[in-house]
Structure 1
């Protein structure tokens, strides 16, 4: 694991602004962080090069795209052989329905967040894909009724939260 990057107050302010609007111009970012454009751009490049800023993305509204069903699926493996782990890794990478995947501790091995059009699409995903995957012992699914909070903004260390 790599060491955390040291951030000063201005870096943290820049990151807060960028998490809220990744398309902010350098000029506006400089103004909001009390910098002139050139030093702002240099700091931004340093944050990108260090990997603190991983990438810039557009966040889509799944409901407006017809993706109205979300589920969390806990997955248990028959065993933890290299082959089963590799099969899960490949399956996750190749399944657009899986938007997040975590290897977890506890009685289950993985936690998946799946987004699909409707309950029927979730059933097809589970029955025709996930449960046919070699090495899967069992699943436990929770259908999301309502999303109470969703953010991609991370708390910034040193902000005193």
Structure 2
């Protein structure tokens, strides 16, 4: 009976240990790959300026890793753009933010030194820390990863137009 009891406790301990380690499994490399989905944009009506037409077409996003950044290449027959985004853990998901001159153009200031803050405070949500360090309350962000669904969504701002991609990893 003692052996069964010890085995039961050992199994419970292992189950708890594995369960508690779930957040550590969220690694940035998991986002790299090909995402198939749709690219939507809103276009004002040709004859009636008040009407808006949503155009949706199939599209592909290729994501490649570069340290804690990703290169995002989104394309279809009528659209082709590439940009670099920073990655931040947000509980079970990963959020993204522009980098370099794209960051400065949208938010009006130079991005801080991310590496200085890494590892200094334990158990701090990286995304919340990023928002606190780099952004004003009303700053807009354009997408991220739903890791439980293997999904990516992002709104690309190109030549005054918004192109919204939603897709799933293949």
TM-score by length of 1: 0.22
Structure with more relative contact order (C-alpha pairs < 8 Å, separation 6 or more): 1
TM-score when normalising by structure 2 = 0.21
Flag the structure with higher strand content: 2
